Amino acid sequence: MIDLHTHSIFSDGELVPAELVRRASVLGYKAIAITDHIDQSNIDFIIPRIVKAAGALKNYVSLEIIPGAEITHVPPALIPDIVKEARRLGARIVVIHGETIVEPVMEGTNRAAIESGADILAHPGLISEDDLMFAKEKGITLEITARKGHSLSNGYVARKAFEIGVPLTVNTDAHAPSDLITKDFAARILLSAGIADNRISVVFQNSEKLVEKALRR
């Protein structure tokens, strides 16, 4: 399992990074990104601490630990600058909290996320065809999520992404130990989103490519 969207106690998760990583390791994870929620108020606090934790743990675990961030409910006009700041501070995976149908995310967030060059647009809800075409052009990956509520639009996202040719990844958006999943369960989530058996491996390969890109940064 590769999971590029998780949370620790540095935002609204339940676990310190060490326990989050340990639990992922026991489940057979190959890589995990710790992507706590950030905005302008805490970016300089959160990311350096995730970077520090990842560096301390890397020689003691069997999986890759990728420092990251999830930019959450930031006004669209401010997203490009905060993406740049997150990368400067050491975030190797930048996730944008997309226009999920279960939260009042500001309209235009999906577009700004794609334009900013973030790595993953998480739970993008009923993303428009124009934005899907733009995501394809920019090489932005969309997320199929295991997270309750956000997952309600998985079927729409999967169908439109394959129709237009936008890469997909599957992540947990984990906040608690019980949110972590095995690769087999991730495959079941993809099937439930309407992704055919012969396309599931493509989604997992996309996750591998994101990890390779992150590790080169």
pLDDT tens for residues 50-66? 999 999 999 999 999 99
Cα angle value 178/184/185 (rounded, 5°)? 40
Q: What is the pLDDT of residue 95?
A: 98
pLDDT tens for residues 2-34? 999 999 999 999 999 999 999 999 999 999 999
Provide the pLDDT confidence category of residue 108 given band limits of 50, 70 and 90: very high
Q: What is the pLDDT of residue 209?
A: 98
Q: What is the pLDDT of residue 63?
A: 97
Stretch 136-150: mean pLDDT, rounded?
Answer: 98
**Architecture of the structural domain at 2-216:** Alpha-Beta Barrel (3.20)
Q: In whole angstroms, what is the distance from residue 46 CA to residue 81 CA?
A: 17
Q: What is the pLDDT of residue 48?
A: 98
Q: What is the pLDDT of residue 10?
A: 97
Element holding 68 (H helix, E strand): strand 64-71
Q: What is the pTM of this model?
A: 0.97
Domain boundaries, the chain: 2-216
Q: What does the mean pLDDT of the chain come to?
A: 98
pLDDT tens for residues 69-96? 999 999 999 999 999 999 999 999 999 9
Q: What is the pLDDT of residue 215?
A: 96
Q: What is the pLDDT of residue 13?
A: 97
SS (H, E, C) the chain: CEEEEECCCCCCCCCCHHHHHHHHHHCCCCEEEECCEECCCCHHHHHHHHHHHHHHHHHHCCCEEEEEEEECCCCHHHHHHHHHHHHHCCCCEEEEECCCCCCCCCCCHHHHHHHHCCCEEECCCCCCHHHHHHHHHHCCEEEEECCCCHHHHHHHHHHHHHHHCCCEEEECCECCHHHCCCHHHHHHHHHHCCCCHHHHHHHHHHHHHHHHHHHHC
Question: Could you tell me what percent of the chain has a pLDDT over 90?
Answer: 100
DSSP 15-41: S-HHHHHHHHHHTT-SEEEE--EE-TT
